C-alpha cells in the first residue's frame, strides 16, 4: 500500500504536521490502495512562504524560460503515460480509454501555455493608443502573485493542468491542493517538478481535505489569487474567504446542463451525444448534459435508441480496454446518487433503462437511468446529481426547448443536435451557457475558453482568458 505522508514544499519532501491519515480507495475493487496525510494549517503556511520567496525570481525569469519548463513538464507526462493512465483509472475508477484522453488533454494544455508564456513575453511593453495627443503609453502584464489552486476528483491531471499551466506561464508561483479522493495521479506532478529542475518554491503541493488544508489555503493572507473547481457550497466559502483582502478569485462550479434535439436531427448521432453527455465518466462531470429536451415527434424513437445503447455498455474493471462504464469514485458518491434515485421514486418518476445491463457484483456502480416527462419542479430536474442520470422532456418546438434550457440556476454548457447546422448555431446563440456544442461531442481544446454563467462560476479557464486570470495589467504613460 502506498503512503503519501509528505508534502512537496520548496522542492523538498516535507513530513506532514498533520497527525491523521485519509484512505484512498480503488472504486472498482472497493479496497484501500493508499493512505494520504491529512495536512494542517502549518503545512499550508510553510508552502505559502516558499511560494512567496520564489516569486520574484520566477517572475523575472521571463516567458520564454517559463515556457521551456512547461514543455519539459509535458514531455515528462508523456514519458510516464502508461503508468499515469493506470494509476488514474485505478484511483478514479474511470475506464482506461477515458484516463488516456485525460492525460492527452493535460499534455496539450501544458504545451499550449508554454507557447502562451513566450507570446506573453513578446507582448510586454507594447504600445497602446491613448487617444490623447501628446501622450504615449505601454502595456505590461504582471503575474497576480502567489496562486492557491484547489481541484476536484473527477478529472485528475486535467483540472490541475487547467490551473497550473496558465498560472506558471503567467509567472505566478503556486500552492496546489489536489483532491484527497484522487491524490495518486497528482503526486506525479511534484515528482516531475523535481525531475525537470523547476526552481524551488515555484510549485508546492499540500495534501489534505477542505477543512484542514483548503480553508487555511483560501484564507491565507499570503495568497494573492485563488482558483477553485468544485461544488457551489464550497465555492461560496472560497469566495467569502477571498473577500477578506479583496483578492482575485476564479470559480468553476456546478451545472445542470441541457441537450436539445430537434425533429430533423440525425437520431443515431443524437443518441451518441445524449449517452456521452450523461454517462461519460459515469456522469461525474460538471458539464454533464443531464437534461434532455427532445422534439415530441422523435422522442419515442430516441428513447428506444437510448435504451439499446445503455444495454450495450460494458460495466466492469476500468483497467480493461473493453470497459465503457466505470464505477462512481467512492461509496459516498454512490450513496449520493442512490439518494436521488430514492427521491425519484418518492416523486413518482418513471425510469426507462436497460434492464439487461449487467453490473459487476463489486464496485461502486450505478446503472444509467433515463427519467421521462420529469416535472420542472422535480429535484432531479433542477439539482446536480453527478451520476449517470438523465431527465427528459418532450417539447413542441424550438422556443419551448430554449425557454426550458435557460430555466436553470446554472449556465455552464449545452449541446444542440439538429439536422441543419445553421439552425443548430441559431439555437446555440439563444442559450445561456459558457460553451455550446453543435452536433459535436464535448471537446475542450486548450485554445478555447471554459467557464459558466449564473451559479456555474466566475471567470474563465483555458485560452487567452485562462492566462489573463493570473495576470494583472499595468499601463506606463508619459508625454510624447
Measured CA to CA in angstroms, residue 359 lies from 186, 298, 329, 367 at distances of: 29, 30, 16, 7
Distance (Å, whole) CA 145 – CA 55: 7
pLDDT at 189 over 80: yes
Residue 275 pLDDT level (bands cut at 50, 70, 90): very high
pTM of structure: 0.97
If one looks up domain 258-445 in CATH, what number appears?
A: 3.40.309.10
pLDDT of amino acid 357: 84
pLDDT of amino acid 179: 98
What backbone torsions phi and psi does residue 106 show, to the nearest 5 degrees? -65, -45
pLDDT of amino acid 355: 66
* 208-254 confidence digits (pLDDT tens): 999 999 999 999 999 999 999 999 999 999 999 999 999 999 999 99
* 397-417 confidence digits (pLDDT tens): 999 999 999 999 999 999 999
pLDDT at 1 over 90: no
Of the candidates 98, 121, 252, 384, the residue annotated as catalytic is 252
- For the residues 172-187, what does the mean pLDDT come to? 98
Residue 34 pLDDT level (bands cut at 50, 70, 90): very high
- For the residues 96-121, what does the mean pLDDT come to? 98
- For the residues 53-70, what does the mean pLDDT come to? 97
CATH class of 2-253+456-479: alpha beta
Q: How far is CA 76 from the centre of its chain?
A: 22
pLDDT of amino acid 361: 93
The x, y and z cell numbers of residue 214, run together, are 483548503
- Give the number of other CB atoms < 10 A from CB of residue 404: 17
Which part of the chain has CATH 3.40.309.10? 258-445
* 337-352 confidence digits (pLDDT tens): 999 999 999 999 988 7
pLDDT of amino acid 358: 86
pLDDT at 24 over 80: yes
pLDDT at 354 over 80: no
Active site residue 252: yes
- For the residues 201-209, what does the mean pLDDT come to? 98
Distance (Å, whole) CA 478 – CA 480: 6
Please, what's the largest Cα pairwise distance for the chain?
A: 77
Which part of the chain has CATH 3.40.605.10? 2-253+456-479
Amino acid at each position: 500500500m502506498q503512503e503519501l505522508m509528505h508534502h512537496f514544499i520548496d522542492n523538498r519532501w516535507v513530513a506532514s504536521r498533520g497527525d491523521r491519515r485519509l484512505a484512498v480507495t480503488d472504486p472498482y475493487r472497493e479496497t484501500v490502495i493508499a493512505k494520504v496525510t491529512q495536512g494542517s494549517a502549518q503545512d499550508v503556511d510553510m508552502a505559502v512562504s516558499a511560494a512567496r520567496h520564489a516569486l520574484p525570481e520566477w517572475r523575472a525569469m521571463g516567458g520564454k524560460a517559463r515556457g521551456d519548463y512547461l514543455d519539459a513538464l509535458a514531455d515528462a507526462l508523456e514519458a510516464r503515460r502508461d503508468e499515469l493512465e493506470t494509476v488514474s483509472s485505478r484511483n478514479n475508477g474511470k475506464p482506461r480509454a477515458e484516463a488516456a484522453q485525460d492525460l492527452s488533454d493535460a499534455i496539450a494544455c501544458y504545451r499550449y501555455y508554454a507557447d502562451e508564456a513566450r507570446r506573453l513575453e513578446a507582448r510586454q511593453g507594447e504600445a497602446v493608443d491613448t487617444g490623447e495627443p501628446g501622450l504615449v503609453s505601454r502595456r505590461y502584464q504582471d503575474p497576480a502573485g502567489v496562486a492557491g489552486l484547489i481541484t476536484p476528483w473527477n478529472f485528475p491531471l486535467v483540472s490541475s493542468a487547467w490551473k497550473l499551466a496558465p498560472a506558471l506561464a503567467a509567472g505566478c508561483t503556486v500552492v496546489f491542493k489536489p483532491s484527497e479522493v484522487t491524490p495518486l495521479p497528482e503526486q506525479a506532478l511534484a515528482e516531475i517538478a523535481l525531475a525537470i529542475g523547476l526552481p524551488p518554491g515555484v510549485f508546492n503541493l499540500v495534501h489534505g481535505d477542505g477543512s484542514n488544508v483548503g480553508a487555511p489555503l483560501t484564507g491565507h493572507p499570503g495568497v494573492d489569487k485563488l482558483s477553485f473547481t468544485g461544488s457551489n457550497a464550497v465555492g461560496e466559502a472560497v469566495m467569502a474567504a477571498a473577500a477578506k483582502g479583496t483578492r482575485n478569485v476564479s470559480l468553476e462550479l456546478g451545472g445542470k446542463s441541457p441537450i436539445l434535439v430537434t425533429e430533423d436531427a440525425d437520431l443515431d448521432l443524437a443518441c451518441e451525444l445524449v449517452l456521452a453527455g450523461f454517462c461519460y465518466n459515469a456522469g461525474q462531470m460538471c458539464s454533464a448534459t443531464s437534461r434532455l429536451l427532445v422534439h415530441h415527434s422523435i422522442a419515442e424513437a430516441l428513447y428506444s435508441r437510448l435504451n439499446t445503447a445503455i444495454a450495450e455498455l460494458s460495466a466492469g474493471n476500468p483497467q480493461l480496454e473493453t470497459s465503457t462504464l466505470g464505477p462512481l469514485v467512492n461509496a459516498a458518491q454512490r450513496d449520493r446518487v442512490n439518494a436521488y434515485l430514492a427521491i425519484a421514486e418518492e416523486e413518482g418518476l418513471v425510469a426507462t433503462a436497460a434492464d439487461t445491463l449487467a453490473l459487476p457484483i463489486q464496485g461502486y456502480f450505478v446503472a444509467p437511468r433515463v427519467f421521462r416527462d420529469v416535472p420542472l419542479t422535480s429535484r432531479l430536474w433542477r439539482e446536480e446529481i453527478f451520476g449517470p442520470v438523465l431527465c427528459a422532456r418532450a417539447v413542441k418546438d424550438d422556443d419551448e426547448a430554449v425557454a426550458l434550457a435557460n430555466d436553470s440556476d446554472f449556465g455552464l454548457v449545452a449541446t444542440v443536435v439538429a439536422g441543419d447546422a445553421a439552425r443548430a448555431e441559431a439555437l446555440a446563440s439563444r442559450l445561456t451557457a459558457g460553451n455550446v456544442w453543435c452536433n459535436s461531442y464535448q471537446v475542450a481544446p486548450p485554445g478555447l475558453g471554459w467557464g459558466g454563467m449564473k451559479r456555474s462560476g466566475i471567470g474563465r479557464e483555458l485560452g487567452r482568458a485562462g492566462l489573463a486570470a493570473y495576470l494583472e495589467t499595468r499601463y506606463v504613460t508619459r508625454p510624447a
